[in-house]
Structures are given as structure tokens and as C-alpha cells.
Structure 1
Amino acid sequence: MSAEQRSGVVREGFLVKRGHVVHNWKARWFVLTADKLLYYKYEGGRRDSCQRGRVMLRGCVVTCPFLEHENRPLVFKLQTKSSVEHYLEACSREERDEWAADIAAAAERLQAADGGEAAAGRPDATGSPSLMLHNVRLNQVVDSMYDVHSGINLTSHVEQGSTYSNCFSGSEVVDWLVFMQLVLSRVEAVTLGSALLEEGFVRPIGLRSLVAIRNAGLSEQFMDDSTALYSFAESFKKRGSVKAEPSLSAVELSGKVMRRGYLLKQGHKRKNWKVRLFVLRSEPSYLHYYDPSKDDVSPVGGFCLRGCLVSALDDNGVPTGVKGNIQGNLFKIITQSDVHYFIQAPTHKEKMDWIDAIRQQV
């Protein structure tokens, strides 16, 4: 029995890791145990049995969220006792926060077993003590948000087939407020965001944020949601005004995100297997996939799900059309134009969950 099996697996799955020497980003399979974080490489379609690295968790500090990597809002930082820094990216905010919380909890248990105090840098929880938000000066908060160097990044977002420039999402604001330590929890960040809305420092853009204004309570009008869009008030002109520009290519990216996750996809020409970030949307129903070594802004491929056929494949043997030494948990999607996509999920449950989610959109 391996050391990994003896110590027990707390959590495992794909994360994207930044290299230490060459600062590129690569998808790796991570396994969290009681005292260490191991990571492996996928060779072709199968997990490499050799460890590519390990991080000992005793004395580690977790920073989540960690927003110093532009266009990568789902990164958290793990700093070891010897001050080595590891930057890891998850496929969603929920996954990011769960990984960070589990790693921080493991580090704290080790610290407690050594007779020390709890490790610093634990991800914020809902039960964090109050920051006495009634003493916060909103004009100072918005000035910090507006700062060109350390403030909120103004980017383009898609909603209802239109691309809105010079704006930001609710989740980006919440992440930023937590990262800048202006609040102690995401709940406090929502309360502070709602106050900024109420006082007119920021304004809602698009349908989702406008609906929240009408329907939510006063302290919950601001949405911790990546599809709820906001901008600075009209008085802030020098950083650009919001423009809504209809775009044909934006229509397929404007649907509601139903599911995100890392899956392995077989290439159409070279038949090699690569880890891709898949995003399933509805209304309109599309499945897009992104290169996790880059970003989740521009998909490298995707297709409409209308008229598609999706089916699970038998893991006994290698199905027709599949190449390489595969891990298993295969499924296939055939588009309306008869293009065949072969995909592997990390587990049987994830395979079935993806199939069910896709079938609801076809």
C-alpha cells in the first residue's frame, strides 16, 4: 500500500498550476492527503503513476482569493513553511474555495497536533466576526476600487447576446474586497457592495443585476455572481464608459452557465488527449472548451447542443474512434453536423453528471 493510500485521500481533482522556473500554466491531477498535496501529470489519456511533485502542508499558509494574476480570478496561493509559493487555479469559484478550505484545514490540524496556534491565512468563512461595516467610508472604498493599478479590472462581459465593455461582475468585486482585506467574508462583501449600489457609487448593468435590485432585500441587492454585471457610476469617465455592442459571436457565449469542469478531450486530427475546461451554457445551449494554460475568455472550440446525441461508452476495451492509453469514464457527443467528440471525465460520477446535464440542453 502506498503512502498516499495509508494517509487517506481528502480530495482529488484537476487544478492548473503555474511553473516555478518557466511561469507557464499546466493542468495537473492533485491529490490532497492529511499532510501533503501531491500532483501528477496526465500522459495521453491516463494519469501518470509517477508523482511530479509534492507540497508538505505543515506550516503552509493559504491565500484565497489571490488576484495578482491578471485574467485568472480563480487562483489561490499556497505558501510553504520555507516560503516557496505555489499558484493553483480551479475551474470555478466554488471549487477554488473548497480546495483552499480543505488545504488550510489540513495545515491547521497539523499545526494543532504540533501544539501551535492555528495556521494563518485560512479562507474566510460565513461565520467570520463582523468588520463593523457601518464605520466603513464608502468613498474610500470606491476610490480604492477605481485605482488604475490595484483596483478592479475593467473588462468585457457578455449577457443576452451583447458584449458590455468597461465593467465587472459581482463575483469579481467580492473577490477583490476579500483579497484587499476590506471585509472578512463574502457575506460582508455583498453587504458592502449593496451599500455601494444604494449610494450610487456603482450601478447595475444588464438584466441579472437589475432584477436583484428590484427583488432583493436592501443588504442583498448586490450579487456575488459571475454573470451579474456592474460598472462605476457615470461620474467616473476617465476609465471608460460602458458600451453594449451586439455581436454574433457573443450570442453563443451569452447563455446561463450550467456547469464548468476539467475534462479530457481527444483531438480531431492528432487524436491526442488534452485537459480542457468545459463550460456548458443554456439559452442558447452550447458547450465550449478552453485551454486551461491560457484563460477562460476565448474558447478554443465549441458547438451548439441542439440536435446532439450524447452517450456513455463502455470502458472495457478501447471503443472505435478512440486512440491512446485511456483512463476510462468515456462518453461521446455527436453533433447535428455529425462531428464526433470523445471525452473522458475524472470519475464515473462526473461522467454521468455531465451526460445528464448535456441531455437537458439537447
Structure 2
Amino acid sequence: MDKDKKTILREGFLVKRGHLVHNWKARWFVLMPDKLLYYKFEGGKRDSCQRGRILLKDCVITCPFLEYDNRPLVFKLKTKSCVEHFLEACSREERDEWAADITAAVEKLRMADGGEATSQQDPAGSQLHNIDLSKVLDSMYDVHSGIKLTNHVEQGSTYSNCFSGSAVVDWLVFMELALSRVEAVTLASALLEEGFLRTVGLRSVEALRTAGLTEQFMDDSTALYSFPESFKKRGSVKAETSLSAVEMSGKVMKRGFLVKQGHNRKNWKVRLFVLRSEPAFLHYYDPTKDDISPVGGFPLRGCLVSALDDNGVPSGVKGNIQGNLFKIITQSDTHYFIQAPTHQQKMDWIDAIRQET
């Protein structure tokens, strides 16, 4: 067991699409030098039975993979035997880190077999000067494969029919209009410079005012952009104003998968937690569905958060738990019992929540 632990390159929750029934399930993934193992999390504890494995030899990674509406954080693994696996992370950073670690493992296996190192794209050798920006815009506008328009809330204001900077960068890389994220930022900045895109909200407007050409279009999920007013796009969305829009308008401070105990059945389920500030709210989502509509949440003002001892089962907790427990008591005296994947993540979450209470 100790030997196996030494060879673990990375581990954590990912959401996996099933092969036969195409539903999405949260699984615990363990990256080894030659394979990716996954386990089921049940009853508050990772089961000891390996549910599946993905052999990494000659595996091909596609990141980002944007063919699923409302799931922009998916990446795809295609094995040597042409089996495709679709995995979703909790954030763009997590997605890109998983993809980078898996790619590095695949590369090491290839090198061990006598292969040559994969050549990296030289930014200086970019061919962006040959790209017709109007054709890029036409592709972005395509009803079926173009960029998705959504609503965003920034500092209490709702912006409709727009997209984030990181969403544009993801899309340009996925459509192979740019070979790297750095190149995609340069291309997006050129679209902005030529008036094919416009800034929306304070963050992107400020970036345009203060940054240089290649930096003004940020690979950032909080910098918003849209098409010029003179453009119309089919399938666009309408702005909606509701109470939930206010609590969802805060800046996202932290995202991650945690295991939460239900209030009624006391069962444990993996949830995607999103911590927002100004106003301070903690929302949680069912990762088998999407991160658009939370299944629950509460304001953090007046909350108490504390770490729980992993020795024994604390009062109010049921199930064969893994550990790394903490508890949140809301101002209305509702008790939430939550498990983090690691002790460090537990302490990070507690610190982040305390800053907002």
C-alpha cells in the first residue's frame, strides 16, 4: 500500500459520464504513472473496490472539450483501443491541471517506449497573422457550434447574451483556431481591437483601459464580453432578474467538490460547492446535473464554522465517514456537516468561509 501511495501522481473528485447510460456520476480518481483508477464514494466513504481503470499508454487528451452544453469543464480521454472517457472538473484550473498531469504521464510512457518528445508550439512561430478575423467571428456566431451566450451577474447588475474571457479562450482552443491558450488570448485581443467583440462589465472594461494588446483580453471567468449591439444571434438568452440573481452576484472566491450529509435521510453525497463574496453566500450544486441552478445554499453572515475531530463519529453525523469533517451552523441554526477530500482542503475551506462570516 505504501508503494502504491508513492506512485500516486494526483487524486481527487471528477464527474464521469457513463458508457452505457450517459448519465454523470461523481467518482474519486487516482492518477498513477500508467493508469487512471476510479472509485465510488458511498455512505460518506470511498469504497475499497476499484470501479474502473483507464490505461494511459497512447491515450489522447482533448482539453477543453466543449460539446456538452452547460458543461464547459469537461476534458476527454481517448484510449489506445478508441474508448472515449468524458471527465468533468470543478473549475477551469482543476480541469487544466488534471489534463496537464495526465498528458505528462502519457508523454513519459511514450518516451519510455523510445518515442521522441512531442514538439511544443513556439509562440514566436504563431501563424495568427494569416487568420481572417471575420471568418473567426462567423464561426463564433454559428448557431450549432459557435460560442454559447449566457447571462452573467456582476456587482448586482445582470448582463445578458455575453460570455467570459476564459469561455472564449476555451472555445478558440477547442475549435483549433489557436494552438495554445496564450495564442487564443492574442487572437481574442485582436477581435476586441477590431471591434468584433466588446467589453461588458467593470473588470473587462478596466483591463482594456490598462493592459497592452496581448493582455487586454483576459483568460478569466469574471471578465465579460459580448458581440457588438449591431449583431444579432439566434438562440440568445433573455436576462432574468430574481432574488437568486442577487445572491449569485458575488465574486466567486472558491470552488470545489465536497461531501455533504443530507438533512433528512442523513446520506452523504458529493456536491460542488461555490463560495461567493459581496454578498457572501455558500451554494452547492448536484454535479451530476449542472452548475447553473444550485440545489441549496445559505448566506454566510453570522455563520459559525468549525473543524470536527476525526476520532470517532461526532454527534449528528451518521454513516461510515472518511474524515476531514467540518460543520457550519447558519444564523437560522441549520447545521451542515461536510467532508473535505484532505485535511489541508478542510482547513482551506474553513479559513475561506470564516473570512466571509
Over 3 Å counting, the alpha-carbon distance change for 1:175 and 1:342 in structure 2 is same
Q: How big is the shift at 1:84? A: 0.3
The C-alpha deviation readout for 1:9-52, integer Å capped at 9, x for no partner, is 00000000000000000000000011000000011100000000
Equivalent-residue separation in structure 1 for 2:263 and 2:118 (angstroms): 47
Pair 1:38-2:50 in alignment: no
Distance in 2 (alpha carbons) for counterparts of 1:101 and 1:331: 31
User: How many residues are matched?
Assistant: 357
Aligned-residue CA RMSD (Å): 1.8
Name the residue aligned to 1:308. Answer: 303
- CA gap 1:243/1:16 in 2 versus in 1, 3 angstroms: closer
- Per-residue deviation, residues 142-200 of structure 1 (Å, max 9, x unmatched): 11111111110112222222332221111110000001111111111111111111111
Report deviation, 1:241. 7.3
Per-residue deviation at 1:299?
Answer: 0.5
Normalization by structure 2: what TM-score? 0.96
Alignment of 1:132-151 (within 5 A): 132-151=127-146
Cα deviation for residue 222 of structure 1 reads 1.0
The secondary structure found in structure 2 opposite 1:295 is coil
* Contact 2:151–2:239, Cα closer than 8 Å, also in 1: no
Secondary structure of 2:147's aligned partner: coil
Measured in 2, the distance between the counterparts of 1:52 and 1:93 equals 26
SS of 1:218's equivalent? coil
Instruction: Name the counterpart of 1:156.
Output: 151
Alignment correspondent of 2:268: 273
Tell me which of 278, 286, 294 is aligned to 2:281: 286
In the other structure, the counterpart of 1:191 is 186
4+ residue stretches of structure 1 with deviation over 6 A? 240-243
Q: Which of 238, 252, 255 is the aligned partner of 1:257?
A: 252
1 CA distance for matches of 2:233 and 2:129?
30
Contact 2:156–2:249 (CA under 8 A) maintained in structure 1: yes
How far is the alpha carbon of 1:245 from its aligned partner?
5.2
Identity %: 79
Counterparts of 1:23 and 1:190 in 2: how far apart (Å)?
33
CA deviation vs aligned residue, 1:255-291 (integer Å, no higher than 9, x gap): 1111100000000000000000000011111100000
Q: Do the aligned partners of 2:150 and 2:236 also contact (CA within 8 Å) in 1? A: no
Contact kept, 8 Å, 2:123 with 2:183, in 1: the verdict is no
**Distance in 2 separating the partners of 1:119 and 1:86:** 23
Match of 1:109?
A: 108
Counterpart pick for 1:179 among 162, 171, 174: 174
| SS of match in other structure, 2:218 | coil
Show the counterpart of 2:48. 49
Moved more, 21-30 or 211-220: 211-220
In structure 2, give the amino acid aligned to 1:73. Answer: P
Asked if the contact 1:315/1:330 (under 8 Å) is kept, the reply is yes
Q: Which runs of 5+ in 2 are unaligned?
A: none
SS in 2 for 1:220: coil
Change in Cα spacing, 1:71 to 1:119, as seen in structure 2 (3 Å) is: farther
* Distance in 1 of aligned mates of 2:298 and 2:132: 47
The CA deviation at 1:207 is 1.7
| Structure 1 pair 2–57 and aligned structure 2 pair: CA distance change class (3 A) | farther
2:75 paired residue number: 76
C-alpha contact (below 8 Å) 1:129/1:184 kept by paired residues: no
* Corresponding residue number in structure 2 for 1:220: 215
Distance 1:297 1:241 in 2: 16
Query: C-alpha separation between the residues in 1 aligned to 2:308 and 2:208?
Result: 46
Match of 1:299 in 2: 294
Q: Say whether residues 1:339 and 2:338 are aligned partners.
A: no
Partner of 2:22: 23
Aligned partner letter, 2:58: G
Q: Is the 8 A contact 1:163 1:247 kept in 2?
A: no
Report how far residue 238 of structure 1 moved: 4.2
Q: Find 1:353's aligned residue among 330, 348, 352.
A: 348
* Structure 1 residue 219, shift from structure 2 partner: 2.0
Aligned to 1:219, the other structure's residue is in SS state coil
Question: Equivalent residue for 1:59?
Answer: 58
